[in-house]
Amino acid sequence: MFSWMTRQKELVGLDLGTSSVKAVHLQRSRSTYTLVDLGIAPIHPKTIVGGVIMDAATVSATIRQLFVEHNIGVKEVAFSVSGNSVICKKIKVPKMKRAELREGIAWEAGQYIPYSIEDVNLDFQILREAGPGDQEMDVLLVAVKKDALKAYLAVISAAGLHAAVADVNAFAIENSFTMSRKIQQGEVVALVNIGAVVTNMNILHDGISDFTRDNSLGGNRYTESLQKSLGVSFDQAEALKRGEPVEGHSVADAMPVVEMTNGELAGAIRNSFTFYHSTSRSKTVHRVVLSGGCALLPGLAPYLSRALGLPVEIANPFQHIVADPKKFDAQYLASIAPQMTVAVGLALREPEDDAG
């Protein structure tokens, strides 16, 4: 949404998540994308909390190490933010030209943003142009707190890189999904990205973002619940969550806790759907696409499908990207694909994209 790029260059998608840092470099040739470089490095769960950077030095060091280990030579990056520092809201504004809206967006935003306008960076996207007889048009308003944005820019700069584009997780996920998917007319698709701490939701209607929401229930809820219920360590709880037995506990021991947390997640998604239906002209969701590190949790996709009464599929952002099998193991790519969705969506950003 926010761009500091003045000339066309290649970009690396850099996803600074709560449990890991991911980087993806793609090259475009006409309508084809090729995977050039890719890397993922774990970070301590308290390094970035709820989208807020708590340990800047560690984040910068991890980014530097990631780029060196995977021989990523491009220094221009697109990154994204999520959590409480970001507000995305669909609003109606009087029919006007884009230039006029850009001039007046701060005044329009003042009615919807709970912070001082001076404390946020604002951007917008016109969702649907107003028709000849319309007096209003739908606009997606995006506000990111300046101090949060500065923190991300600082760690990227300290890693020896240049932040060229800033985006929002929900839109990076949308970018990845819409790259080559044909959306059926009238179709409503819920993109649900389950990270360690935050679950991002972006509901598309006719391929256009119609509703976004971040929910503070993510994969760590499973880990914390298992630690509390079974008295196991963080690492043991992580293994049980992934369907791996640990000393003293079988996968069956973990199932009641996992099923309970599955139910919490299904309830949170269902509540978001209810809110969406109350604020939108659409009264249905046709399917769900899961991404994020938790998308591959054993049994989660079928559980959500049953609980929500909808088809649930797992995202594979590499599906339509050319990857040299001599350089990238297909099985490995499949195992990390859902958690690379944000990074791929960022890597797809056109370097010459204008803000808004």
Give the burial class of 281: count Cβ atoms within 10 A of its Cβ; 0-12 exposed, 13-18 middle, 19 or more buried. Answer: exposed
Give the dihedral of Cα atoms 184, 188, 194, 200; nearest 10 deg: 120
pLDDT confidence tier of residue 355, bands split at 50, 70 and 90: very low
Q: Tokens in use for 94?
A: 């009087």
Do the domain assignments include residue 127?
Answer: no
- Which CATH number fits the domain that encloses residue 49? 3.30.420.40
For 41-88, how does the pLDDT look when each residue is reduced to its tens digit (9 = 90+)? 999 888 988 778 899 999 999 999 999 999 999 999 999 988 778 888
Percent share of the chain, pLDDT over 90: 57
Cross-strand pairs, 82: none
Q: Is the pLDDT of residue 317 over 90?
A: yes
Which band of pLDDT confidence, cut at 50, 70 and 90, is reported for residue 258? very high
User: In the prediction, which pLDDT does 3 show?
Assistant: 56
Residue 168, C-beta contacts closer than 8 angstroms, at least 6 positions apart: 1, 80, 81, 82, 86, 88, 142, 144, 212
| 206 and 290, same domain (yes or no) | yes
Task: Mark whether 285 and 334 lie in a shared domain.
Answer: no
pLDDT of residue 191 exceeding 60, the answer is: yes
* Confidence check: pLDDT of 237 > 50: yes
Kindly state whether residues 322 and 287 are assigned to the same domain: no
pLDDT at 87: 84
In whole angstroms, give the CA distance from residue 116 to residue 327. 49
Q: Are residues 245 and 338 in the same domain?
A: no
Q: Residue 11 burial by CB count (10 A; 0-12/13-18/19+): exposed, middle or buried?
A: buried
If asked whether residues 35 and 175 sit together in one domain, one would say: yes
Distance CA 70, CA 72 (A): 6
Range of the domain at 52: 1-84+145-179+317-356
Q: 78, 170 in Cβ contact below 8 A?
A: no
Check whether residue 280 and residue 310 sit in a common domain.
Answer: yes
Neighbours of 55 (CB within 10 A): 16
Residue 214 and residue 258 in one domain: yes
- Calpha distance 93→355 (Å, rounded): 19
**Is 287 found in the same domain as 330?**
no
Q: Is residue 115 part of a domain?
A: no
Residue 123 placed within a domain = no
Q: Is the pTM of this model over 0.85?
A: yes
Q: What is the mean pLDDT of the chain?
A: 88
Q: In residues, how long is the chain?
A: 356
Q: pLDDT tens for residues 7-44?
A: 456 899 999 988 899 999 999 887 789 999 999 999 98
Q: What is the mean pLDDT of residues 126-151?
A: 83
Look at 9-23, 155-169, 173-187, 259-273 and tell me which has the smallest mean pLDDT: 173-187
Query: Angle of helix 234-241 relative to helix 251-279, nearest 10 degrees?
Result: 70
Give the mean model confidence (pLDDT) for residues 176-183.
Answer: 79
Residue 301 sits in the same domain as residue 350:
no
Instruction: Please state the domain count of the chain.
Output: 2
In a domain, 128, yes or no: no
Residue 254 has pLDDT above 60, yes or no: yes
What's the pLDDT score for residue 180? 67
CA distance 46 to 38: 24
Same domain? For 6 and 26 the reply is yes
What is the pairing mode between strands 136-145 and 120-128? antiparallel
Q: Is residue 138 part of a domain?
A: no
Q: Are residues 149 and 27 in the same domain?
A: yes
pLDDT grade, residue 351 (50/70/90)? low
- Tell me if 33 is assigned to some domain: yes
pLDDT tier for residue 290 given thresholds of 50, 70 and 90: very high
- Binned at pLDDT 50, 70 and 90, residue 322 comes out as very high
pLDDT at 130 over 80: no
Asked whether residue 202 falls in the same domain as residue 248, the answer is yes
> Is the residue at 192 inside a domain?
yes
Residue 289's pLDDT band, with cuts at 50, 70 and 90, is: very high
